[in-house]
A and B are shown apart, each in its own frame.
Chain A
Amino acid sequence: MTKLENVLSPEKGWAITAKILIGFIISRAVKTSSSLLGKGEHFTLLVTGWEKYEEILQNVYGDIGKQLCHYVKETINTPVEDAVTAAKLYRTAWTLLSGPDFEYEIVQASPEEAVVRINNCPWLQRFEEFEIGPEHRACHRSHQANGEKGLMVFNPMLTFKLTKAPQWGDSYCEFIIGLKDF
């Protein structure tokens, strides 16, 4: 029998698994179960209302942000004493969550503040593929929680603020990583 590693390289496996699972999260959490239940769109939101739904997402994605940033901190083993280093490490953590299609660029950098633009977001792509409009997306809340809680792991003086998002009418996401009392 052919060995799995002869068919599947880890690079290719990484990209495919990320794409499938993000699609699965988006389609199942938001769409599939609702259509099977015959209740229109967005099952969880329908049940919880926006406030509770956002709280759920913040909890789940904040937890994942902390875990991945812990891993990156231990693996990369670099002190994080400025905003640019934090932005680079956070990019690694977010890529580990979202796969190799994720692209982000540091568009403005100083030791106390880094402005980051997301040029390619697999989550946004899956929302668009599944035709889920901005009114049913709450990924800006998930992202804010992920950033806030994740960066605390690198250095408790770091701050995270999402400043642009498609949900607010912007064409891309942008956020600022800051260092308090620099």
Chain B
Amino acid sequence: MEELLKKIPPEKRWAITAKALTRLVISRMTKTGAPLLGKGEGITLLLTGREKLNEIQEGAWSKGGTLRLPWVKEMFNISVEDAIGAAKLVKVAATLLAGPEYQLDIVDATPERVVIRRSQCPWWNRYEELIAELPLRVCEPGHIGWTEEGLQSINPKLTYTLTKALPWGDPYCEEIIEFKEE
């Protein structure tokens, strides 16, 4: 590694890259195109409507979840035999996706049921920086699709429910993972 880069600690490098790239995702897809096109709204939303955009988001992110969660499970050898293992996997996979800015805490845990609270979310933080209009922040269909489909692809006994969400006006996102024998 070149000398100048070594002056920046690894944790910081990771954080900067993640922040820059999540910013690119949000600004490329949602914001920057719109003013340049002379329209007041997000380019994709404007062209598709909310229902179709939700479908696009959920479809794209579900695909990512079914690819990424099993990959992370294998790479880090995370056992997913109950809800606690599933929550651990979600935490590692989400952090790998969007960087260490994520603050995911397990606030309640039994093997059958885990509650995760996301108090810092890189995607939401980028929305806050770039997009004032709440209707243009379309993240929860992707969030649900990515986690639910990803977990189901690993173990169909796992269920996933998003119970609180920043775009719904809650102060944080909260989700429940359950492991049901039958």
Given A33-B60, A36-B55, does the pair A89, B10 have CB atoms closer than 8 Å?
Answer: no
Within 34-75 of A, Cβ neighbours of B (below 8 Å) are at 36-37, 43-44, 47-48, 52, 55-57, 59-61, 63-64, 67-68, 71-72, 75
Query: Are B2 and A88 in contact (CB-based, < 8 A)?
Result: yes
Is B134 an interface residue, CB under 8 A from the partner? no
Range of interface residues on chain B? 35 or more
Query: Are A14 and B32 in contact (CB-based, < 8 A)?
Result: no
Residue of B nearest to A88 (CB): B4
- Point out which of B25, B28, B37, B64 has the most chain A C-beta atoms below 10 A from its C-beta: B28
Range of interface residues on chain A? 35 or more
Query: Are A21 and B18 in contact (CB-based, < 8 A)?
Result: yes
Query: Are A37 and B56 in contact (CB-based, < 8 A)?
Result: yes
Given A36-B55, A64-B20, A71-B16, does the pair A17, B96 have CB atoms closer than 8 Å?
Answer: yes
Chain B contacts to A: CB under 8 angstroms: 1-2, 4-5, 7-11, 13-14, 16-18, 20-25, 27-29, 32-33, 36-37, 43-44, 47-48, 52, 55-56, 59-60, 63-64, 68, 76, 78, 84, 88, 91-92, 95-100, 106, 109
Nearest CB in chain A: distance from B27 CB, A: 5
User: Given the complex of chains A and B, what is the CA–CA distance between A4 and B72 in angstroms?
Assistant: 13
- 8 Å CB contact of A21 from B7, B10, B22, B33: B22
Nearest CB in chain B: distance from A164 CB, A: 22
Query: Are B2 and A2 in contact (CB-based, < 8 A)?
Result: no
User: Given the complex of chains A and B, what is the CA–CA distance between A85 and B37 in angstroms?
Assistant: 38
